[in-house]
């Protein structure tokens, strides 16, 4: 197991390197000259060519591409993503808290999604093709077809305005979590529910089930077996769900004025604050790779067969 | 294997719950405001950096914390941190007697030494302050005694006191908050002398200001003011209805967080009152005349745009009559602005004629005019947080289409738009004049400032003449010459149509009914919170 | 044709198919269907309620909401479809090549896919908008950049399985050229799989595009787009909720129709398409489900 963990982790390192390189290249594609942008940000009123050359030298931008990349990469490892063009504050001082706020929202939503999709997935798989299965699936299709912001508006109108139960926006108390979590859960639970359901069904058709039934094992026990095997699917899927949702809360955060990554990234785009956009992409892609690695390791821990795959 | 899995699963869930549990930490703050004691105002943007010698911060918030030497009021310049002053006969030396009972929020005494340090800190970052001409005129700043300070200018400059009264940069922060004797690279605290102190700031969430009990003008009545970050529009409207916020006002960029209809709805509900200031400024579209080879460089195009804006409809339908149509850069009640200028009303036929005469031809079958292969297409930038700007932009886009001009609209954050204005990376953008205290002298002196309207004005034929006149008018001591110079300046920019006026804007406040003493300053950037009280 | 009949039997699928067909036709021939010019501003009719002339009422500039909905089909559905087709096209070519020839080509293509798939979709789209600027075409570009890798992966798995089939081996032994084998024996059988996976992506792409437009990062005024219409309606979300209704419901109906159709397509073609086939390749249920999970991004 230990060697598997090491091997699997080593594999993700080149991936992280490639990602960081791509992010760096991406930023260099931006139509604005970074030196010029830095000068704007400092509010320098007249930008002359000499000033640009000077700033370039000061920022080390006259150096070869690869050296610039290496320097940038090393500073990123120390969470130094440079300063925001707009506020001049270090990027991490803005990104860090936003990341935490979004993470809280994401984890709570993932728990809710797990509860719903596993619960309904198991029930529906056991009653495949029956009335219950069909209607839950129908509803899930319908719910996933709803634009989340529309749903959010509806919820705010009903729960916050009509019933006056919950705050409309912001992140003031535990109550603030309720609506965003519900909206995220609804827009994702349908998808994950279907994945769990089909994993369960394919397990149901496995030989061991047939064998167990033939041997007269009680149905309850067989279900437990299936459940255990399906949980493996669930865990790996949900490990992936965390970074995915982390990156997809943009719209929901915007509606609920959540001070998270989504709000930050959209604001940065609208104010053309490139260092923040770059750091945002890098951090989330890295999170994506890390969670992916973790999910593989957990899977391998549960299923020794998989360890040989590497 | 099964036990192992259970353990792993359990660990996974526990860690998630623990992590999520961290969120319980700030659960103490409750949603609804404590009506009758405090104000919670909605703001579309975070208050940002409160360093008073730089520009990213929110002006109304800085206005609560910091104060200037003198104050601009309806009746002219009045004392504030300076009790009295005198000006030498040659107009070059200003001597201020400071108040003796003022302390910074951190307890440091406010004295001549502190004033000197602050002014020098501003001067050492001169390139950023070029829009305020005083920064180029200050030669030295000397401490005469503990409470007397002397300002020496390179030449007489008549708006000196006006510019010293502005919300920034000539305001005072405790020298203890300086970093390495400077403020340009940030400050270690936001200790001003004003009626409120910044006590808490959570970026993109809220900022709390508490009354300065030791304020020299007497502790303010409203003890706590919170600036809550909320997206403009319906979110803010809802929050007002529910009492999560109880105060909104036109922000420093001239954007209202809720529209007129929503305001009226709140007033009708009986909990809120709407208070509007006198018209304070002119909302306008600014054209980048310095873009040679581009349609906006052409005076005829700018004039045609001027003729194609239906200001009456904008005023009646978009602003529900709360803002009036504007025909010139400054309304005639602004000092020196009572000048006879050619009126350009809404007239699409004239607009078309002007374009035809200037060589912009509409080929049959095409929708956009061209001139020498150049398409009559321009970009208009608006503040993404202002719904009225967006609606106006779309409305104007539609009428321009009728005269064969194509307008591309882009909504951006105000900071990005400010950047575009100072770097000239725009065709057209929404803007507003700077308000009573600044008009016309500061707005006009900003015509020459690279960080403001230089790109707007530098491409016109008479640019050199314009700049010469602006330099003259600001140092001229004779009222009559000043008048005629201002008239010339206003005529030049009017004829060149680089500032295309739309409406005259005012500051609007929506406040709880029980809040009294709501008044306005001579600037649209600040509200005198310290004068407000609950009944 | 057989497929069509199968779907036609399923009532829900038949309704879905009709909705999609009507939407596409209305979008292509928008000028014929729309009662008014979608960009025509009439401030007198600002927020006018529905009338016989303007069936769904008027928006904040007095424009006809119905006409805007119909013209909105073009960016909201048709352009998304184009982006989908391009990314499926790229994915299919690479997937076929990788799955059929295996070896180094396969390894290389799959590593590239791994890298692409390690950027979460939303984040990538935001990155592209951040760099290229706000606009519909940039989101579509981002869609293509993001989605092809996912399609390549899935199509490769499906092709690999058919490439192992006896008749393919037989043709190879007979010396039939690779291209011919692919065109004759693999494309026809793999096509239904491609149809299923691309249809399941279609709905989520429409939703994503409208989401970005809603945030003001998508199409720019005065063009009509559903997400953009909702963005405009948001200004008056609680004072005039009815304006939110029409574009919102339109999105729900069209996306539901696509999702239902995709589902019944899957059932009609092979009840356990995703899972059973992958297992033939020695892949685990877990990893295939994981790939499915990734698609959500």
The verdict on residue C158 lying in a domain is yes
The verdict on residue C201 lying in a domain is yes
Task: Chain C: give the shortest CA distance to residue A186, in Å.
Answer: 13
Q: Fold for B1-59+194-277+507-535, please state it.
A: D-Maltodextrin-Binding Protein; domain 2 (3.40.190)
Q: Which chains touch A (3 or more CB pairs under 8 A)?
A: B, C
Collect all residues of chain A within an 8 Å Cβ-Cβ radius of residue C121.
Answer: 244, 247-248
Q: What is the mean pLDDT of residues B23-33?
A: 40
pLDDT of residue A30 exceeding 70: no
User: For residue B32, what pLDDT band results from cuts at 50, 70 and 90?
Assistant: very low
B281-340 confidence digits (pLDDT tens) = 999 999 999 998 899 999 999 999 999 999 999 999 888 888 999 999 998 888 898 899
CATH code 3.40.190.10 region(s) in chain B: 1-59+194-277+507-535, 67-193
C-beta atoms of C284 and A303 within 8 A: yes
List strand residue ranges (DSSP E) for B60-173, in order. 70-73, 76-79, 82-87, 93-98, 138-145, 148-153
B37-59 confidence digits (pLDDT tens) = 789 999 988 888 899 998 888 89
> Over chain B, what is the mean pLDDT?
87
Task: Chain B: give the shortest CA distance to residue A219, in Å.
Answer: 19
The domain spanning residue C269 has which CATH number?
A: 1.10.3720.10
User: What residues are paired with B345 via a beta bridge?
Assistant: none
* Least confidently predicted of A126-140, A185-199, B18-32: B18-32
Partner residue facing B8 (CB), from A104, A259, A302: A302
C-beta atoms of A247 and C123 within 8 A: yes
pLDDT of residue B457 exceeding 80: yes
Q: What is the mean pLDDT of residues C215-238?
A: 85
pLDDT of residue B184 exceeding 80: yes
Find which of C207, C286, C291, C295 to mutate to test the A interface (most A CBs within 10 Å of its CB). C286
User: For residue B22, what pLDDT band results from cuts at 50, 70 and 90?
Assistant: very low
CATH code 3.10.105.10 region(s) in chain B: 281-505
CA atoms A154, A159, A162, A164: torsion sign: negative
A79-138 confidence digits (pLDDT tens) = 888 888 777 788 898 899 999 999 999 999 999 998 888 888 888 888 888 888 888 888
The verdict on residue C45 lying in a domain is no
C-beta atoms of C237 and B233 within 8 A: yes
pLDDT of residue C267 exceeding 80: no
Q: What is the mean pLDDT of residues C289-297?
A: 54
B251-265 confidence digits (pLDDT tens) = 877 788 788 888 888
| Chains B & C: contacts with CB separation below 8 Å | 52
Q: What is the pLDDT of residue A44?
A: 56
- pTM here is 0.84
Q: What is the spatial distance between Cα B240 and Cα B258, in angstroms, rounded to a whole number?
A: 10
Q: What is the pLDDT of residue A307?
A: 64
User: For residue C280, what pLDDT band results from cuts at 50, 70 and 90?
Assistant: very low
The verdict on residue C43 lying in a domain is no
Partner residue facing C222 (CB), from B262, B318, B394: B394
Partner residue facing C230 (CB), from A141, A147, A229: A147
Query: Which residues 120-139 on chain A approach chain C with CB closer than 8 angstroms?
Result: 137
Partner residue facing A86 (CB), from B29, B205, B415: B415
| Chains A & C: contacts with CB separation below 8 Å | 184
Q: What is the pLDDT of residue B354?
A: 95
Partner residue facing A104 (CB), from B22, B230, B238: B22
User: For residue A40, what pLDDT band results from cuts at 50, 70 and 90?
Assistant: low
Question: Who's near B239: CB < 8 A, 6+ residues apart?
Answer: A168, A169, B42, B228, B230, B245
Token reading at A76: 């990123």
Q: Is C26 left (phi over 0), alpha (psi -120 to 50) or beta?
A: alpha
Collect all residues of chain B within an 8 Å Cβ-Cβ radius of residue A236.
Answer: none
C-beta atoms of A259 and B48 within 8 A: no
Higher per-residue pLDDT: B12 or B187: B187
For residue B240, give the 3-state DSSP assignment. Answer: helix
Q: What is the mean pLDDT of residues A6-21?
A: 84
pLDDT of residue C288 exceeding 80: no
User: For residue B114, what pLDDT band results from cuts at 50, 70 and 90?
Assistant: very high
User: For residue B24, what pLDDT band results from cuts at 50, 70 and 90?
Assistant: very low
Q: Could you tell me which CATH class the domain B281-505 is placed in?
A: alpha beta
Which of these, B370, B470, A84, A239, lies nearest to C286 by C-alpha position? A239
Collect all residues of chain A within an 8 Å Cβ-Cβ radius of residue B5.
Answer: 228, 231-232, 301-302
* Least confidently predicted of B87-96, B360-369, B402-411, C259-268: C259-268
Partner residue facing C127 (CB), from A137, A237, A281: A281
Interface of C to B at Cβ within 8 Å reads 39-41, 43, 46, 60-61, 134, 216, 220-222, 234-239
Task: Chain A: give the shortest CA distance to residue C59, in Å.
Answer: 17
Find which of B377, B397, B409 to mutate to test the C interface (most C CBs within 10 Å of its CB). B397
Q: What is the mean pLDDT of residues B92-111?
A: 94
* Least confidently predicted of B52-66, B412-426, C82-96: B412-426
User: What residues are paired with B72 via a beta bridge?
Assistant: B77
Query: Is the CB of residue B425 less than 8 Å from the CB of residue C94?
Result: no
C-beta atoms of A150 and C260 within 8 A: no
Query: Is the CB of residue A188 less than 8 Å from the CB of residue A113?
Result: yes
Q: What is the pLDDT of residue B87?
A: 94
Partner residue facing A169 (CB), from B48, B235, B412: B235
User: For residue B25, what pLDDT band results from cuts at 50, 70 and 90?
Assistant: very low
Query: Is the CB of residue C124 less than 8 Å from the CB of residue C145?
Result: yes
Find which of A173, A252, A263 to mutate to test the B interface (most B CBs within 10 Å of its CB). A173
Q: What is the pLDDT of residue A32?
A: 64
Q: What is the pLDDT of residue B7?
A: 53
Beta pairing, strands B206-211 & B374-375? unpaired
Which CATH number is A92-274's, of 3.40.50.300, 3.40.50.1370, 1.20.59.20, 1.10.3720.10? 1.10.3720.10
> Over chain A, what is the mean pLDDT?
82
pLDDT above 70: percentage of residues in chain C: 90
What is the helix (H) or strand (E) element at residue B502, kind and residue range?
strand B499-505
Q: What is the number of structural domains in chain C?
A: 1
A148-179 confidence digits (pLDDT tens) = 888 888 888 888 878 888 887 777 788 889 99
CATH number for the domain running over B67-193: 3.40.190.10
pLDDT of residue B400 exceeding 90: yes
Residue whose pair of structure tokens reads 């890298």 in the numeric block: C115
The domain of C221 spans: 2-33+72-285
């Amino acid at each position: 197991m230990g060697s598997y963990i090491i091997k699997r982790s080593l594999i993700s390192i080149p991936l992280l390197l490639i990602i960081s390189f791509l992010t760096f290249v991406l930023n260099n594609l931006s139509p604005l000259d970074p030196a010029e942008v830095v000068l704007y940000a400092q509010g320098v009123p007249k930008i002359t060519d000499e000033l640009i050359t000077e700033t370039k030298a000061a920022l080390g931008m006259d150096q070869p591409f690869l050296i610039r990349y290496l320097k940038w990469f090393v500073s990123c490892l120390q969470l130094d993503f440079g300063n925001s063009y707009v506020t001049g504050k270090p990027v991490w001082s803005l990104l860090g808290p936003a990341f935490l706020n979004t993470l809280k929202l994401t984890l709570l939503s993932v728990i809710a999604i797990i509860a719903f999709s596993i619960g309904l997935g198991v029930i529906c798989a056991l009653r495949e093709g029956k009335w219950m299965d069909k209607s839950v699936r129908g509803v899930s299709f319908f719910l996933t077809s709803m634009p989340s912001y529309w749903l959010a508006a509806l919820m705010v109108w009903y729960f916050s305005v009509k019933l006056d139960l919950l705050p409309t926006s912001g992140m003031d108390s535990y109550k603030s979590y309720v609506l965003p979590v519900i909206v995220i859960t609804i827009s994702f639970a349908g998808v994950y529910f279907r994945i769990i359901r089909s994993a369960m069904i394919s397990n149901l058709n496995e030989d061991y089930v047939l064998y167990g039934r033939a041997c007269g094992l009680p149905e309850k026990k067989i279900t437990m077996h299936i459940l255990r095997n399906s949980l493996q699917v669930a865990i790996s899927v949900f490990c992936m769900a965390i970074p995915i949702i982390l990156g997809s809360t943009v719209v929901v955060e915007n509606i609920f004025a959540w001070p998270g990554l989504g709000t930050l990234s959209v604001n940065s785009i609208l104010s053309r604050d490139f260092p923040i956009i770059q750091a945002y992409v890098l951090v989330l892609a890295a999170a994506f790779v890390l969670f992916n690695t973790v999910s593989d390791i957990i899977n391998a821990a549960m299923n020794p067969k998989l360890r040989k795959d590497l | 294997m099964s036990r192992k899995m259970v353990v792993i699963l359990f660990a996974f869930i526990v860690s998630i719950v623990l992590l999520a549990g961290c969120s319980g930490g700030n659960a103490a703050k409750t949603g609804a405001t404590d009506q009758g004691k405090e104000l919670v105002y909605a703001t579309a943007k975070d208050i940002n950096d409160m360093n008073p010698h730089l520009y990213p911060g929110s002006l109304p918030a800085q206005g609560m914390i910091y104060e200037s030497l003198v104050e601009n009021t309806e009746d002219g310049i009045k004392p504030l941190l300076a009790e009295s002053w005198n000006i030498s006969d040659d107009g070059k030396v200003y001597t201020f007697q400071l108040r003796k009972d003022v302390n910074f929020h951190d307890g440091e005494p406010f004295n001549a030494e502190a004033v000197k340090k602050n002014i020098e800190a501003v001067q050492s970052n001169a390139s950023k302050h070029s829009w305020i001409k005083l920064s180029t005129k200050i030669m030295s700043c000397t401490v005469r005694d503990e409470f007397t300070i002397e300002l020496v200018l390179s030449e007489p400059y008549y708006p000196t006191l006006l510019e010293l009264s502005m919300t920034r940069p000539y305001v005072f922060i405790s020298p203890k908050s300086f970093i390495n004797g400077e403020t340009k690279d940030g400050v270690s605290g936001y200790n001003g002398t004003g009626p409120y102190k910044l006590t808490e700031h959570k970026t993109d969430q809220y900022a709390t200001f508490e009354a300065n009990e030791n304020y020299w003008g007497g502790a303010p009545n409203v003890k706590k003011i919170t600036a809550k970050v909320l997206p403009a529009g319906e979110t803010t409207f809802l929050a007002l209805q529910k009492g999560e916020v109880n105060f909104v006002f036109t922000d420093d960029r001239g954007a209202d967080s809720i529209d007129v209809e929503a305001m009226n709805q709140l007033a009708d509900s009986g909990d809120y009152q709407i208070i509007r200031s006198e018209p304070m400024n002119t909302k306008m579209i600014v054209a980048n005349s310095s873009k040679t080879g581009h349609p906006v460089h052409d005076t005829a195009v700018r004039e045609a745009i001027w003729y194609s804006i239906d200001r009456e409809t904008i005023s009646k339908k978009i602003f529900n009559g709360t803002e009036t149509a504007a025909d010139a850069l400054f309304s005639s009640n602004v000092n020196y602005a009572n000048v006879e200028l050619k009126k350009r009303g809404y007239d699409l036929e004239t607009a078309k004629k002007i374009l035809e005469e200037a060589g912009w031809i509409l080929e049959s079958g095409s929708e956009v005019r061209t001139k020498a292969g150049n398409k009559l297409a321009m970009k208009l930038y608006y503040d993404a947080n202002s719904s009225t700007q967006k609606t106006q932009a779309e409305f104007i886009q539609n009428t321009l289409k009728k005269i064969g001009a194509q307008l591309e609209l882009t909504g951006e954050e105000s900071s990005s738009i400010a950047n575009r204005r100072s770097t000239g990376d725009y065709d057209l953008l929404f803007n507003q004049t700077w308000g009573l205290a600044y008009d016309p002298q500061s707005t006009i002196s900003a015509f020459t400032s690279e960080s403001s309207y230089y790109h707007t004005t530098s491409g016109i034929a008479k640019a050199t003449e314009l700049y010469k006149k602006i330099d003259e008018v600001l140092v001229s001591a004779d009222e009559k010459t000043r008048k005629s110079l201002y008239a010339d300046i206003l005529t030049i920019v009017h004829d060149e149509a680089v500032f295309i006026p739309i409406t005259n804007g005012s500051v609007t406040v929506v406040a709880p009914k029980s809040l009294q003493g709501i008044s306005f300053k001579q600037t649209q950037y600040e509200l005198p919170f310290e004068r407000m009280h609950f009944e | 044709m057989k497929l069509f009949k199968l779907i036609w039997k399923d009532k829900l699928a038949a309704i879905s198919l009709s909705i999609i067909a009507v939407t596409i036709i209305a979008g292509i021939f928008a000028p014929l269907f729309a009662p008014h010019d979608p960009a025509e501003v009439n401030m007198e009719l600002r927020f006018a309620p529905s009338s016989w002339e303007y069936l769904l009422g008027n928006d904040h500039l007095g424009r006809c909401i119905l006409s805007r909905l119909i013209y909105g089909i073009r960016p909201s559905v048709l352009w998304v479809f184009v982006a989908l087709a391009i990314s499926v096209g790229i994915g299919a070519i690479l997937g076929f090549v990788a799955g059929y020839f295996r070896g180094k080509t396969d390894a290389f293509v799959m590593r590239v896919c791994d890298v692409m798939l390690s950027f979460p979709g939303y984040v990538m789209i935001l990155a592209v908008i951040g760099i290229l600027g706000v606009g519909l075409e940039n989101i579509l570009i981002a869609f293509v950049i993001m989605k092809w890798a996912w399609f390549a992966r899935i199509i490769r798995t499906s092709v690999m399985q058919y490439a192992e089939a006896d008749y393919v081996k037989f043709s190879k032994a007979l010396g039939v050229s690779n291209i011919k084998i692919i065109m004759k024996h693999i494309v026809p059988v793999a096509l239904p799989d491609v149809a299923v996976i691309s249809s399941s992506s279609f709905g989520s792409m429409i939703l994503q595009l409208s989401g970005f437009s809603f945030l003001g990062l998508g199409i720019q005024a005065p063009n009509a787009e559903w997400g953009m219409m909702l963005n405009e309606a948001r200004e008056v979300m609680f004072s005039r909720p009815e304006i939110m209704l029409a574009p919102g419901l339109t999105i729900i109906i069209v996306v539901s129709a696509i999702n239902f159709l995709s589902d019944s397509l899957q059932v009609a073609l092979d009840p356990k398409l995703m899972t059973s086939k992958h297992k033939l390749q020695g892949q685990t249920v877990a990893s295939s489900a994981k790939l499915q999970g990734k698609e959500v991004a």
